[in-house]
Amino acid sequence: MADPASSHAPKPDGATGVLVLADGTVLWGRGFGAVGTEVGEVCFNTSMTGYQEVMTDPSYAAQIVTFTFPHIGNVGVNEEDLESKVDSAVGCIVRQDVTLASNFRSRGEFDNWLRDHGKIGLAGVDTRALTRRIRVKGAPNAVIAHDPHGNFDIPALVKRAQDWPGLEGMDLAKRVSRQIQEGWEGSVWTLGQGYGRSPRDARPHVVAIDYGAKDNIFRNLVKAGARVTVVPAETTLEKILELAPDGVFLSNGPGDPAATGRYAVPVIKELLERDVPIFGICLGHQMLGLAAGAKTAKMFQGHRGANHPVKRLADDYVEITSMNHGFAVDGDTLPDTVEQTHVSLFDGTNCGISIKGKKAFGVQYHPEASPGPQDSFYLFQKFVGMLK
């Protein structure tokens, strides 16, 4: 395998896939999944489980995921572990060839699933070297391509990678958000029973704004005791208030928060003025930060994995969390009206805020897991508890 630091590496025999970075670096491998070409930002994810949930998380829209764990595809795929059915990651990069599935829950092969969903896979890449490159030089724009005959126009692929504008300034929430209002019915999954149903008893009503949400977030809100109505990203303040929410949830999602904030932040500001309880996760956390007067910034390499330690500043408790974000709230820009509640123990970046005098808070990480640890489920209980 060619060193990622070398550009225009000669094509080896049998290469049917390639990753071409905007700086001209060429990484050859074996293509699988869908045939074609896709452009996006290359990132890496350190999770040891949950590749199907990662590949269906809308927060990965317009991204190519490098998996640092070697055994990707070994447990197959199933319909229960889909986090969404909208745009998400355009492709993935793995070290080893995908093997046949070996798991009692599997209902298909990862290779076939990628092909059926239009996602390109690239195997045989030195993922450790690629990850180190991202850590040193940042997340690059690139094109991933798969052709069973191995025919690639490398100069054209380089140009496509260079011409792609990148995620900064890009609003992707509108692309991945559901377009119609939906009453959410499902609860969390249990072995042997599948997904539960939302009870019909009287419950506090949460209106969840979908900026590219993972379904397991809504399931955990139901588990915590809420009745959930999901609305599109661009839903107006008037339509939200017509639903008579006891609280409003701001979901995760892809893209630049400053771009999404052009239409989302004015709505959130009005909700804060009306003292509506608010809980935000990931992009929703960033939207809340912008509405409170803070700024967001593009991260050098981002945080993506299921093993990120976060300190809760109130009591120095450390949560092991699931993360997926390439932008962050700039902790240095938090106004006096905002309290920083959590920070990353990897790099000290902001991971949580609370609005003083309001029932409004957000976290940068994913307390719903899927995949990941479940240290932070208490946040759903905290939010729903504010509404009772």
In this structure, what token pair is assigned to residue 325?
A: 């974000």
Across the range 308-313, mean pLDDT stands at 98
- Looking at residue 10, its pLDDT comes to 85
Whether pLDDT at 2 is above 90: no
Residue range(s) occupied by CATH 3.50.30.20 in the chain: 17-163
Across the range 95-105, mean pLDDT stands at 94
- Active-site residue, from 38, 83, 319, 368: 368
- Looking at residue 8, its pLDDT comes to 64
Across the range 15-30, mean pLDDT stands at 97
Q: Does 282 participate in catalysis according to the annotation?
A: yes
Q: Does 368 participate in catalysis according to the annotation?
A: yes
**Beta carbons of 319 and 310 less than 8 angstroms apart:** yes
Give the pLDDT confidence of 78-87 residue by residue, as tens digits: 999 999 989 8
Give the pLDDT confidence of 103-142 residue by residue, as tens digits: 999 999 999 999 999 999 999 999 999 999 999 999 999 9
Across the range 197-206, mean pLDDT stands at 85
Residue range(s) occupied by CATH 3.40.50.880 in the chain: 173-387
Distance, CA of 252 to CA of 280 (rounded, Å) = 8
Distance, CA of 275 to CA of 227 (rounded, Å) = 20
**Beta carbons of 241 and 270 less than 8 angstroms apart:** no
Whether pLDDT at 1 is above 60: no
Give the pLDDT confidence of 334-365 residue by residue, as tens digits: 999 999 999 999 999 999 999 999 999 999 99
Across the range 53-81, mean pLDDT stands at 95
- Looking at residue 340, its pLDDT comes to 98
- Looking at residue 9, its pLDDT comes to 72
- Looking at residue 3, its pLDDT comes to 42
Domain 173-387 has CATH 3.40.1160.10: no
**CB-count burial class (<10 Å; 0-12, 13-18, 19+) for 298:** middle
Across the range 32-39, mean pLDDT stands at 98
Higher per-residue pLDDT: 198 or 271: 271
Chain Cα centroid distance, residue 41? 13
Beta-carbon neighbour count of residue 200 at 10 Å?
A: 7
Give the pLDDT confidence of 151-193 residue by residue, as tens digits: 999 999 999 999 999 999 999 999 999 999 999 988 888 888 8
Whether pLDDT at 6 is above 80: no
Distance, CA of 379 to CA of 371 (rounded, Å) = 17
- Active-site residue, from 308, 325, 342, 366: 366
Whether pLDDT at 274 is above 50: yes
In this structure, what token pair is assigned to residue 333?
A: 């820009």
- Looking at residue 5, its pLDDT comes to 40
Question: Could you tell me which residues come within 8 angstroms of residue 78 by beta carbon, excluding any fewer than 6 positions away?
Answer: 52, 105, 106, 107, 108
**What CATH number belongs to 17-163?**
3.50.30.20
Whether pLDDT at 200 is above 80: no
Global confidence as pTM: 0.95
**Beta carbons of 240 and 271 less than 8 angstroms apart:** yes
Which residue type is seen at 45? N
Mean pLDDT of the chain: 94
Across the range 50-60, mean pLDDT stands at 96
Whether pLDDT at 50 is above 90: yes
pLDDT class of 371 with cuts at 50, 70, 90: confident
- Active-site residue, from 43, 282, 303, 342: 282
Whether pLDDT at 4 is above 50: no
Give the pLDDT confidence of 233-263 residue by residue, as tens digits: 999 999 999 999 999 999 999 999 999 999 9
Across the range 1-15, mean pLDDT stands at 65
From 383, 358, 376, 362, select the one nearest 285 (Cα to Cα): 362
Which residue type is seen at 180? I
pLDDT class of 217 with cuts at 50, 70, 90: very high
Beta-carbon neighbour count of residue 149 at 10 Å?
A: 7
